[in-house]
Amino acid sequence: MEPATASLILIGIMLAILTTGVWIGLALGLVGYIAFALMTNASPALSFATTIWGSMNSWTLTALPMFIWMGEILFRSSLSDDMFKGLAPWMQRLPGRLLHTNVFGCGIFAAISGSSAATAATIGKMTIPELRKRGYDDFMNIGSLAGSGTLGLLIPPSIIMIVYGVAAEVSIARLFIAGVIPGILLMLVFSGVLMSWALMNPDKVPPRDAPMTLGEKLHESRRLIPIVALIMIVLGSIYTGVATPTESAVLGVVGSLALTVLTGTFSWKMFNASVMGAVRTNAMIGLILAGASFLTVAMGFTGLPRIFAEWINSLGLSQFLLIMALMVVYIILGCLIDGISMVVLTAAVVMPAVKAAGIDLVWFGIFVVLVVEMAQITPPVGFNLYVLQGLTAKPMGYIALAALPFFLAMIAMVFVIILIPDIVTWLPNQMLGQK
């Protein structure tokens, strides 16, 4: 069977299975089994058990459930509610005023969550009622939340970075550090979108709240101290080399539990709910990783990744054109499957071509995170859109249209890191040395 024909058949089978509502992890494993049966003489049963065990038996992956649990604890605590009151006094002078609490609130929560959906949901529950009460435009309120919620993937610690690091065999610590500057820049870009909109639509921005003295602003900002302290503990322990990402994740869980106790928001009901939420999310990710690992092994037996890499090389594409082609592919995939599935599904096929083109794998990881962020706000699968639909009861089309300016901002950010790759690679090289 010709490789191109085989690839089209497998893609068709994959899409057909996904349309039936079968879990993505099971669909990936089933396609891997079919690939074994159709294109090789090997026994899929012999590879299945060792592949599943090998994909799950990874020390690096132990950071994943801990970071997920930390986010679940904070999602269910009242700590996030304090962020609005702590941020609001400093946003009044910016064009767009309190709409910026969505951007900076998501940025802060992203640094302790690692999940895009949790970031959008947590900050949305906090800001949507407050901004509606003050008369802020619902369209831009929802759009800024949809876009800024994706910062949960880019600003470390990030679940998707851990998944990519395992799939591409790249240092998780290096990826975390590489995401800092692009994450901050993307926050500023999102704020720039809000300021531009506010300057063009001054009639849609309510008047500022009563002026506050510097002392009053600092007094309100005391509410941010627990969150900032937790960020410094978690990320500082990684960046200084005191702890590995897994160890820092455990510190984050302990720290978040301690904060809920100190602030009086701890309860056994909240604790149990956070544990079960983390278990469900981690089990879902684990199933996807297991299915994708089996599919990857099957692809290796068929030789399709090698053939794909050779085909890409034969086209003589420059690095820029290759990145552009991959961005289009990832955006299309983002309309069909979730971000984690995108990463693990494409790793075996894309990585050989990326390595052959001489693209830095840490840089490529941040690029992948950015395009996966786009997938979070592209219908029909964009998960952040569903989160905000649940919070606002607005139609999906309305939310997707509101998110469009921020989707375009992320595309612009991709071009920025292409033109200036040091934005991604400089900080990890400074802190951890050249690879």
CB 71 within 8 A of CB 155: no
pLDDT above 90 covers what percent of the chain? 16
123-150 per-position pLDDT tens digit: 887 788 888 888 888 899 999 998 998 8
**Out of 42-56, 165-179, 269-283, least confident range:** 42-56
CA 198 – CA 339 distance, rounded (Å): 31
Q: Which of 75-84, 268-277, 341-350 has the lowest mean pLDDT?
A: 75-84
pLDDT class for 366, splitting at 50, 70, 90? very high
- What is the average per-residue pLDDT within 220-234? 80
For 376-428, how does the pLDDT look when each residue is reduced to its tens digit (9 = 90+)?
Answer: 788 766 778 877 887 788 888 898 899 999 999 999 999 999 999 999 999 99
Residue type, 16: A
Q: Residue 329 pLDDT more than 60? A: yes
pLDDT of 4 above 60: no
pLDDT tens-place string over residues 149-185: 888 888 887 888 888 888 888 888 899 999 999 999 9
Domain boundaries, the chain: 47-432
* Mean pLDDT across 100-109: 87
Q: Which residue has the higher pLDDT, 213 or 258?
A: 258
**Cβ(226)–Cβ(79) under 8 Å?**
yes
Q: How far apart are CA 267 and CA 151, in angstroms?
A: 29
The DSSP 8-state label assigned to residue 377 in this structure reads T
Q: 278 vs 195, which has greater pLDDT?
A: 195
Q: Is 255 helix (H, G, I), strand (E, B) or coil?
A: helix
pLDDT of 3 higher than 60: no
Residue in this structure with the two tokens 């921005």, named with its chain if needed: 205
Residue 81 has pLDDT above 70, yes or no: no
Most confident of 82-91, 203-212, 311-320, 353-362: 353-362
The confidence score (pLDDT) of residue 265 equals 80
Reply yes or no on whether the pLDDT at 1 is more than 60: no
423-413-365-430 Cα dihedral, nearest 10 degrees: 10
Specify the DSSP class assigned to residue 213: -
What are the tokens at 180?
A: 């800092």
Please state, in angstroms and rounded to a whole number, the distance separating the CA atoms of residues 70 and 157.
11
Q: Looking at residues 302-324, what average pLDDT do you find?
A: 74
The C-alpha atoms of residue 415 and residue 295 are separated, in whole angstroms, by 32
Give, as one character, the DSSP assignment of residue 77: S
Mean of pLDDT over the chain: 81
pTM of whole model > 0.85?
A: no
